[in-house]
Amino acid sequence: MSKTRTQPSARLRIVLAPAMALGPGKADLLQAIEVTGSIAGAGRSLGMSYRRAWTLTEALNSYFAGPLVITKRGGSRRGGASLTELGRDVLSLYRRMEQRTNSVIETELAALQCLRKADR
Amino acid sequence: MSKTRTQPSARLRIVLAPAMALGPGKADLLQAIEVTGSIAGAGRSLGMSYRRAWTLTEALNSYFAGPLVITKRGGSRRGGASLTELGRDVLSLYRRMEQRTNSVIETELAALQCLRKADR
């Protein structure tokens, strides 16, 4: 029986401030908001509580020069949501950094993979 | 009064297995072991408990094809420690990935910095 082995992969976290980072979690959340059209739907699609999805969104919105996510219905926190132009810019900057990173570390990732124990 | 603002910076984490990653913390630990010549000293220099430094070292040692860190005195867990050749290879692979990452994302980091709120 052969066991599937995990391929080493990179996760890029951008530390923006001491208690604020932009990593795969927030990037996936922004992307899921764009896809699902709501914060609740994005949270569900990522297995994240609504509360957590909302908290992360608020953190992003208050860090940048303007909101990255706007909710469509004025009063309702559970209404539809979408990315602003700034939100799409931030997401696309992150994805570009992620792609560039992956493209320049391929050799080292492969080397790390060769250095692990045979049963890993 | 001007407040020092955090420059956005990248942290690279290599996910080796579902519960095992190599990131800045373990890389700094390996480097500190090489510098201080002991796991306890490395932990102290990083503000990390001896227990945590030891646990991370053990995790690294059991993941790779051989130990990355060897303790110098046979019986004593608190004796001197140093990196093996494999340990130095893994550390240098990680540092190279980190440098390459930083060199390819400069433009995007600068752009992210421009997009943050004025008081950040």
Residue-wise pLDDT tens digits, A20-34: 999 999 999 999 999
Mean pLDDT of A27-55: 96
Distance from CA of B39 to the nearest CA of A (A): 22
Residue A76 clears pLDDT 80, i.e. is over it: no
Could you tell me the end-to-end alpha-carbon distance of chain B, in angstroms, rounded to an integer? 14
Query: What pLDDT score does A119 carry?
Result: 75
ipTM of this predicted complex? Answer: 0.86
CB-based contact, B4 to chain A, within 8 Å: no
CA distances from B23 to A11, A53, B26, B67, B78 (A): 9, 25, 6, 18, 24
Residue A82 clears pLDDT 90, i.e. is over it: yes
Residue B3 clears pLDDT 80, i.e. is over it: no
Mean pLDDT of A72-94: 84
Least confident of A15-29, A65-79, B89-103: A65-79
Query: What pLDDT score does B6 carry?
Result: 77
Mean pLDDT of A40-68: 96
Is A109 in Cβ contact with B65 (below 8 Å)? Answer: no
CA distances from B105 to A15, A73, A95 (A): 13, 37, 11
User: CA-nearest residue of chain A to B114?
Assistant: A65
Question: Structure tokens of B92?
Answer: 């240098």
Mean pLDDT of A47-51: 95
Query: What pLDDT score does B2 carry?
Result: 45
Which pairing describes strands A9-17 and A20-22: parallel, antiparallel, or unpaired? antiparallel
Consecutive H or E run containing A114 = helix A106-115
Consecutive H or E run containing A20 = strand A20-22
Q: What is the DSSP letter of A80?
A: B
Residue B54 clears pLDDT 50, i.e. is over it: yes
Query: What pLDDT score does A65 carry?
Result: 96
CB-based contact, A59 to chain B, within 8 Å: no
Query: What is the identity of the amino acid at A72?
Result: K
Sort residue A37 into left (φ over 0), alpha (ψ -120 to 50) or beta.
left
Residue B95 clears pLDDT 80, i.e. is over it: yes
Is A13 in Cβ contact with B115 (below 8 Å)? Answer: no
In this complex, the residue of B6, B15, B117 whose CB is nearest that of residue A65 is: B117
